[in-house]
Amino acid sequence: MTTVERQEEFAPRVERDRVPPKAFWWTCAVTVVVIAASVVISSKLLQSWMRPAPEGASGPARADAEMGLVEQTLILTTRRGLDQQAKQRESLGAFGWVDRPHGIAKIPIDRAMDLVADPAFMRRSLGHDLLPGGPPDSGEQ
C-alpha cells in the first residue's frame, strides 16, 4: 500500500454545508407562532392596564413619611432641608477661614469666579498665562 492510497483511505468525507429544509421551515413556523402569541398577550395586558379604574377604587396606599427613626420625605421639602440649603447659600457668599494655621481662606463664589476669569490675576498668581502652550519655560513654543 502506497502513501497516496493510505492518505485517500483516511481522508475526511467533505459534505456541502446545508441546513435540512424541513428543520429550517419548522424553526421559522415556531418563531412566527411565538412572536404572534407575544404580540397578542402584550396587547391584552396593555388594554387591561389602560382601562380606567372602577369608581370608588383607590390607588396603592401611601407609606408614612416617617418609619421608625428614618425620615422618608425629600430633604428639600422639609424645614430642615430648607434651613440647610439657606446655610449653604450663605456660606458660598461669605469670607472666612477654612484652615487658619495653614493660611487657607474662603472667598465668595462670585468673587472667585471673577478672579479666575481675570487673566492679570491668574498671571500674578501662577506666574504665567493660562494659554494652551502652558508656562513659558515648558519648552513648547
Choice between 89 and 78, residue whose per-residue pLDDT is larger: 89
Torsion of CA 27, 28, 29, 34, to 10 degrees: 90
* Mean pLDDT on 86-99: 88
Taking the mean position of all CA atoms in its chain, how far away is CA 136?
A: 40
CB of 1 within 8 A of CB of 7?
no
Q: Among the ranges 20-24, 52-56, 81-85, 127-131, which has the highest mean pLDDT value?
A: 20-24
Whether residue 141 is predicted with pLDDT greater than 50 in this model: the reply is: no
Share of the chain above pLDDT 90, in %: 19
Which pLDDT band holds residue 33 (cuts at 50, 70, 90)? very high
Which pLDDT band holds residue 42 (cuts at 50, 70, 90)? very high
* Mean pLDDT on 17-26: 89
Please state, in angstroms and rounded to a whole number, the distance separating the CA atoms of residues 48 and 54. Answer: 12
Q: How confident is the model at residue 24, as a pLDDT?
A: 92
The mean pLDDT value of the chain amounts to: 79
Please state, in angstroms and rounded to a whole number, the distance separating the CA atoms of residues 140 and 5. Answer: 74
